[in-house]
Amino acid sequence: MGIKQKNKPLNRKKIPNSTILGQNCCMNVLVVGGAGYIGSHCVRQLQEAGHHPVVLDNLVFGHKSAISPDLTLYEEDLGNRSKVEEILINERIDVVMHFAAFAYVGESVQDPLKYYKNNVAETIDLLQAMQNCGVNKFVFSSTCASYGIPEKMPMTEDLPQSPINPYGQSKLDVENILKACAHAYGLSSASFRYFNASGAAEDGAIGEDHDPETHLIPLAIWAAQGKRDQLTVFGTDYDTPDGTCLRDYIHVDDLSRAHIAVFEKLENPGQCLFYNLGTGIPASVMEIIKAIEDVTGLTVPYTVGERRPGDPPALYADSSKAQSELGWSPKYDNIRDIITTAWKWHQSHPHGYDD
């Protein structure tokens, strides 16, 4: 699907686009998982910043309509190494951004092999393809779940990483593989440990549409709209100010902008960078419900349920490393502004994407 230059042979002596045009100017970026929630927002930000994104997505979780029709979308599996190599060469890719992963914590406990196969083994295939084609810049979606239950708050990058589920472990495994690749092959990479990605594009054109949906903000909005049963609040007996869990909700466009801000850092071979991305502002489940009610003017019906296994009481970031090293800072530092963008998306797409 969408294959340009289909029959062009591999040419391993590729000249990276950035070399021709000047460093960081109009980078050709392969966005793996670019039709998914965070990937699609990043694709738009790349376009706005003057770069040239090309999307690879098998559309298992991604949505074709999240991608502008003027972009090339390769509907392929990440593990199809020969196809990935063909794309890397033919599209003269400078940087690979990798968003494609399974991300359901509970499922990862039930079916760990699925997670290690998709999130680790297929990432190795992707890195191998990059190495074969001389592409040596990589931006990776990691997660705050790689820390497990953190020792201190807010969380800095130097905290020990002890994931408590195979999903978090699969992300940490890739981080460790990237360290080894930096050392062995001079691969330059940046791994971003996301806190809670939320919100939608400011114009409401793209947004969050997972199936199944497990995240608090979309579930609470649906409950407010009467589209599904009341929300279950998972535990009100945590050691937090109102007894519900604290999380760090960061706008998806703020996450995306960090991925572009890091390009300059990747110019030197062998970089292996790790950054937390959050606002540093904790919000409880009850505060999210209240903010959704304020923004929408609707009531969020809820009941109190059991704690969800594996939920730490609080997770929020110290993102000062990303701020000082990348000159990045979150534009959205108020949960109501983030929810306003999510609400706009939900109103304009009552059934999510068409596909």
Nearest to 165 by CA among 284, 311, 36: 311
Cis preceding-peptide flag for 160 (omega within 30 of 0): no
Residue 95: Cβ-neighbour burial (10 angstroms; 0-12, 13-18, 19+) = buried
The answer to the question of residue 245 lying near ligand UDP (CB under 6 A) is: yes
Shortest distance (Å) from residue 223 CB to ligand UDP: 9
3-state secondary structure of 320: helix
The answer to the question of residue 133 lying near ligand UDP (CB under 6 A) is: no
The answer to the question of residue 23 lying near ligand UDP (CB under 6 A) is: no
C-beta closer to ligand UDP: residue 85 or 318: 318
Q: Catalytic: 332?
A: no
Question: Which of these ranges, 6-14, 64-72, 150-158, 212-220, lies near ligand UDP under the rule CB under 6 A?
Answer: 212-220
Q: Choose which of 247, 257, 259, 349 interacts with ligand UDP (CB under 6 A).
A: 247
Shortest distance (Å) from residue 342 CB to ligand UDP: 12
The answer to the question of residue 179 lying near ligand UDP (CB under 6 A) is: no
In the structure encoding, which two tokens stand for residue 181, read together?
């690749």
What does 91-136 look like in DSSP terms, one character per residue?
TT-SEEEE------HHHHHH-HHHHIIIIIIHHHHHHHHHHHHT--
Q: Choose which of 95, 181, 219, 255 interacts with ligand UDP (CB under 6 A).
A: 219
The answer to the question of residue 231 lying near ligand UDP (CB under 6 A) is: yes
Distance CA 144, CA 276 (A): 7
Q: Choose which of 104, 222, 234, 353 interacts with ligand UDP (CB under 6 A).
A: 234
The answer to the question of residue 200 lying near ligand UDP (CB under 6 A) is: no
Compute the half-sphere exposure of residue 275: CA atoms within 13 Å on the CB side of its CA: 28
* Residue of 167, 249, 275, 332 marked active site: 167
The answer to the question of residue 233 lying near ligand UDP (CB under 6 A) is: yes
Which of positions 275-294 make contact with ligand UDP (CB under 6 A)? 285
3-state secondary structure of 197: strand
Residues that bind ligand UDP (CB under 6 A): 196, 214-216, 219, 231-234, 245, 247, 285, 308, 311
Residues that are catalytic: 167
